[in-house]
Amino acid sequence: MSRVSGKMAALQEMLSGLSDAQKAELGKALEASDSLNEEDALVLSLLRREMVGKKKREHRDRVIQGFCDPFEDLLTDRDPDVKEPARISRKSIRPVWNWLREVGGEDHSRVCLRYEEALEYGPPEEAEKARAALWRAAVRLTEDKLEEAFADKQAGQALAKHLGGTRRLEDIREMLVLVAIAPEIEALKMAIAPAPALTLTRDQASLILEAYHRIAEQRPGHESWLIIAMMRRLLHEADILKVVRSLCRDGQDTLASLTDLAIVGDEILNDLDRYATDMEAACGTEGGAAEIVKLTREFSEAYLAVVESLDIKREGSWGQRMLETKRRVSAAIDNGLLRSARRDIFTALKSRKVQSGRTMVSKADLREDPDMDAYEFAEARAMAIRDVARLGERIGVNAAIQAVTKDIVDEIHLYSDSLLSQITNVPDEYIARARSHVIMIARLMELLAGPDPAETFLKRAMRRIDEASS
């Protein structure tokens, strides 16, 4: 190894321990110096080489990002064994880009270089033109090969193997459909920004409709994917049904489900299904009850957005799917919240068994102070039941919740009657403890039965306590 190359290796090792900020600061200091020794010159040379390489990588990444812009809202970190429709795995980007470079050859390289140069030197409008040229080239270079892959089983298997599996092949088909209508998508993204958009306004819906009809004329079969791309920008994806309703006579789901818009409705219903799946997974886990309340709230918003936007027919395919999803949601609420509700709440209410004639009966127990940890847990559970009951009433899954709530409330009333009957007969030192029990029961009553029964009980109990302590 020569003396210079040995120094280079040592300096490279030294520079590898510096952060990017430290390297930038060192580079500025060396460039500002009027006289550099041999070692300084080597360091500056290495830093410049690294910065050029880094800039090239940044430009290359921005070119890939430009290619991905039309489908960025469909990208997901998930990469399931079975491809999720209208969801594109981020793991598909690199294999697809490498294949695009391979089939595009010099043509693709020229387009990418033009885009890189526009990003570096050109005004923003030049970069926009170069990005549009990249999209056009990607479609032109791959469209025939993709059509062949999906028309010919052998060609499809070969391309899937080359890309890394059928998921990659299915992802690239969705990518290229969206890239083919990229200018329309990008124009709408400017109007519906930032993502996720809280609402879809009437003006925004009108813009989507106009673009939909233009694409239907220019690229038939691609127009529904415009709806999908815009749907993914919304916080509540079911809001996109405001557009679907305008495209379907009388807003009927049976019509929408039989047209090319079926993929839009299917994806919205798939999202409803995911709520049910997540609720099922939360059952029996720590914090599962709180998660079920949260998911029930989100599900109810999405569910109501669907039924308020379309005339859902019970006998239609979408109507049947929604009934099944509601059944799963109701079962998850039952399994994850209701079945343990009585135990969770009454653990906080101290009771004891006493002989009454030939039988043993349960009575309130004032011999111990309330267990505040158990009470806080019971209060949280009662709040969860109350919140889910309100939500369930809105989406029609409330029957089981009402039945469980009624049983618990009836038992609390029995417990409170037992407590009232004992207050006048307890020792003086139990009076303060009785107040704590009364306040706790009144709060649970308020959550599960409403403020009126709770207030009535509280007044009766406090009057009884005042009488006992006077």
Q: Which whole-number Å values give the CA distances from 307 to 68, 205, 295, in the listed order?
A: 33, 18, 18
What is the number of other CB atoms lying within 10 angstroms of the CB of residue 160? 17
Q: Which whole-number Å values give the CA distances from 119 to 59, 63, 446, in the listed order?
A: 7, 9, 63
pLDDT of the residue at 223: 92
Question: Within its chain, how far is the Cα of 218 from the centroid?
Answer: 33
Q: At what angle do helices 262-282 and 223-231 cross, to 10 degrees?
A: 30
pLDDT of the residue at 4: 47
pTM: 0.69
pLDDT of the residue at 44: 59
Q: Which whole-number Å values give the CA distances from 258 to 186, 214, 266, 274, 463, in the listed order?
A: 28, 21, 11, 23, 67
Q: Is 199 left (phi over 0), alpha (psi -120 to 50) or beta?
A: beta
Contacts of 57 (CB under 8 A, 6+ apart): none
> What is the number of helices (H) and of strands (E) in the chain?
20, 4
What is the number of other CB atoms lying within 10 angstroms of the CB of residue 299? 25
For 89, the enclosing helix (H) or strand (E) is strand 88-89
58 within 8 A of 52, measured Cβ to Cβ: no
Contacts of 254 (CB under 8 A, 6+ apart): 313, 316, 317, 318
pLDDT of the residue at 120: 84
453 within 8 A of 465, measured Cβ to Cβ: no
What is the chain's Cα-based Rg? 33
Pairing of strands 351-356, 359-364: antiparallel
Cα pseudo-dihedral 43, 46, 48, 52, rounded to 10: -160
DSSP conformational letter for 181? T
Token pair in block for residue 378: 């019971």
pLDDT tens-place values along the chain, 470 residues long: 444 455 656 656 666 666 766 666 665 666 666 666 667 666 656 556 655 545 555 656 889 999 999 999 999 999 988 898 899 999 999 999 999 999 999 999 999 999 999 988 889 999 999 999 999 999 999 999 999 999 999 999 999 999 999 999 999 999 999 999 999 999 999 999 888 888 899 999 999 999 999 999 999 989 999 999 999 999 888 889 888 888 876 555 555 555 677 788 888 888 899 999 999 999 988 888 899 999 999 999 888 888 887 777 776 777 888 889 999 999 999 999 988 888 888 888 877 777 666 666 667 777 778 888 999 999 999 999 999 988 888 888 778 888 888 899 998 888 888 888 877 776 777 777 888 888 999 999 999 999 999 999 999 988 888 887 76
For residues 269 and 245, give the distance between their C-alpha atoms in angstroms, rounded to a whole number: 16
Q: Which whole-number Å values give the CA distances from 75 to 85, 89, 108, 228, 304, in the listed order?
A: 11, 6, 23, 12, 26
* Residue that the structure tokens 């321990």 belong to: 17
Strand partners, 89: 76
What is the number of other CB atoms lying within 10 angstroms of the CB of residue 128? 15
Strand partners, 414: none
* Closest to 226 measured CA to CA, from 270, 249, 260: 260
Q: Which whole-number Å values give the CA distances from 359 to 19, 411, 413, 422, 458, in the listed order?
A: 79, 18, 21, 19, 30
pLDDT of the residue at 227: 94
Give the length of the chain. 470
For residues 300 and 305, give the distance between their C-alpha atoms in angstroms, rounded to a whole number: 8
pLDDT of the residue at 414: 87
299 within 8 A of 329, measured Cβ to Cβ: yes
* Residue that the structure tokens 């290619």 belong to: 67
3-state secondary structure of 17: coil
Q: Which whole-number Å values give the CA distances from 88 to 71, 95, 232, 240, 271, in the listed order?
A: 8, 13, 12, 20, 15
pLDDT of the residue at 401: 84
